[in-house]
Amino acid sequence: MTADIDARLAELGIELPSPPKPVASYVPFVVTGNLVHVSGQVPMGKDGLEFVGKLGQDFDVETGQAAARLCALNIIAQLKTAADGNLDRISRIMRLGGFVNCTADFKAQPLVINGASDLMMDVFGEVGRHARAAVGTNSLPGNVAVEIDAIAELA
Amino acid sequence: MTADIDARLAELGIELPSPPKPVASYVPFVVTGNLVHVSGQVPMGKDGLEFVGKLGQDFDVETGQAAARLCALNIIAQLKTAADGNLDRISRIMRLGGFVNCTADFKAQPLVINGASDLMMDVFGEVGRHARAAVGTNSLPGNVAVEIDAIAELA
Amino acid sequence: MTADIDARLAELGIELPSPPKPVASYVPFVVTGNLVHVSGQVPMGKDGLEFVGKLGQDFDVETGQAAARLCALNIIAQLKTAADGNLDRISRIMRLGGFVNCTADFKAQPLVINGASDLMMDVFGEVGRHARAAVGTNSLPGNVAVEIDAIAELA
């Protein structure tokens, strides 16, 4: 029994963003065999970058979680394109790689990246249970608060 | 001829830790096809986090190596669970991703992560010969000195 | 129709470096199934490390791009060895992971890593279109400006 992910998104009141175009010389995802590698997604909203700043200085954990959630929405939007519009073809979110732009004394990276992980669980259920790394960094592209990449399996 | 990895661990006097539970909304490993993605492991000991601090400031390289080794022990413990208790089913350690919590002038990340790489070679022999990235970061979860994730192949 | 990558390299006037030996206890690449994981490559030139320093402090973006390009040349050199000398066997550059050694206020990591991405496109054409993450870090091995790892598919 496969969940109808689009219905689940609607149920959660989530409208997927347009999948962001890369800002550079690469592609937003690559499908090889049944693997999808999704490029690092930043908190790109309808009107441009959101959540520009650093945890431990400009943003609290809760705001960081909202940034991570927006990254994850963009990952799901990319996966939808990778799966020819059918998110039910995603058979597993394998891994998220989360980078948190922060000060040297900030240490709640896992809580921040939960903003993305929780969304994956909410949207995909069991299929969304993923491995993960969450680390800090002194700087991210455009000074955004969070960047997250992903590996998924296509059925 | 497959090595008996449990025997090798005993020979090395190594007792695997209980595989740490994730501190957040994700799982410690994901198996898809013959790939195992292991979540970022930190230096979690029996009584909690060890090696809390930064290289180049709080710890010397040798202590950093001990932290990396503890991360690798936790990776092996996760792999054992992923392989249904039989580490001989691990046919290759494919990649380690090592993050070293350090000051901006610290540059011996490869030496630090050797604490993990050497253990993989010692325990798994040829099967343990892995690709690797070793980078610095200004901050890690709980301010631990090292975080390492892994990809392995299951036979 | 497979491109003759060696001819393309010659056309671009590119001579591949000798694939650098790891500076530590690991291997430069691992092949499992049709996946190649290439270890993090630094700007190693004929006479040793080049581009030692940080973006936003020691180097401008253009110099950072040259560093990223040298990392990518080393990745291609490793892939050539992984493919038994025949780069036409590389069926896809799946992912680059780019780390930029920089100050906390530097935010042009994507532009820097384009130095590697553009080379992959120039050399491999469609096959070179990859997913990517580009992040900052406060420190890299030997204080080099850029480190890049890669995943590729072997035909």
Give A63-115 pLDDT, tens digit per residue.
999 999 999 999 999 999 999 999 999 999 999 999 999 999 999 999 999 99
Give phi and psi for B27, each to the nearest 5.
-115, 155
- Looking at CA atoms only, how far is residue B9 from chain A in angstroms? 25
Q: Looking at per-residue confidence, does B103 or A22 come out higher?
A: B103
Residues in chain C: 155
Adjacency order of strands within the sheet including C90-101: C29-32, C35-41, C146-154, C90-101, C131-137
Q: Looking at per-residue confidence, does A12 or B40 come out higher?
A: B40
At CB < 8 Å, which residues of chain C contact B?
A: 22-30, 32-33, 35, 37-40, 54, 97, 99, 101, 104, 137-143, 147, 149
Per-domain residue ranges of chain C: 5-17+29-154
CATH, domain range A5-154: 3.30.1330.40
CB A152 within 8 Å of CB A36? yes
> What integer pLDDT is reported at residue B79 of this predicted model?
96
Average pLDDT over residues B150-155: 96
Give B3-41 pLDDT, tens digit per residue.
588 888 888 888 888 888 876 679 999 999 999 999 999
Q: What is the DSSP letter of A52?
A: B
Q: Is the ipTM of this complex over 0.90?
A: yes
CB B117 within 8 Å of CB B96? yes
CB neighbours of C1 closer than 8 A, spacing ≥ 6? none
Q: Looking at per-residue confidence, does A26 or B151 come out higher?
A: B151
What is the value of pTM for the model shown?
Answer: 0.95
- Looking at CA atoms only, how far is residue A13 from chain B in angstroms? 21
- Are residues A141 and C107, on separate chains, in Cβ contact within 8 Å? yes
Give phi and psi for B153, each to the nearest 5.
-110, 135
Domain spanning B5-14+34-154: which CATH class is it, in words? alpha beta
Chain B residues near residue A134 by CB distance under 8 angstroms: 24, 40, 141
Q: How far, in Å, CA of C130 to CA of C127, rounded? A: 8
Average pLDDT over residues A23-40: 92
Give C87-145 pLDDT, tens digit per residue.
999 999 999 999 999 999 999 999 999 999 999 999 999 999 999 999 999 999 999 99
Q: For chain C, what is the radius of gyration of the CA atoms?
A: 15
Average pLDDT over residues B49-70: 98
> What integer pLDDT is reported at residue C7 of this predicted model?
87
- 3.30.1330.40, 1.25.40.20, 3.40.430.10, 3.90.105.20: which CATH number matches C5-17+29-154? 3.30.1330.40
Q: How far, in Å, CA of B101 to CA of B51, rounded? A: 11
Chain B residues near residue C33 by CB distance under 8 angstroms: 34, 153
> What integer pLDDT is reported at residue B17 of this predicted model?
86
Q: How far, in Å, CA of B33 to CA of B36, rounded? A: 8
- Local structure of B26: helix, strand or coil: coil
Q: What is the DSSP letter of C144?
A: B
Q: How far, in Å, CA of C66 to CA of C100, rounded? A: 12
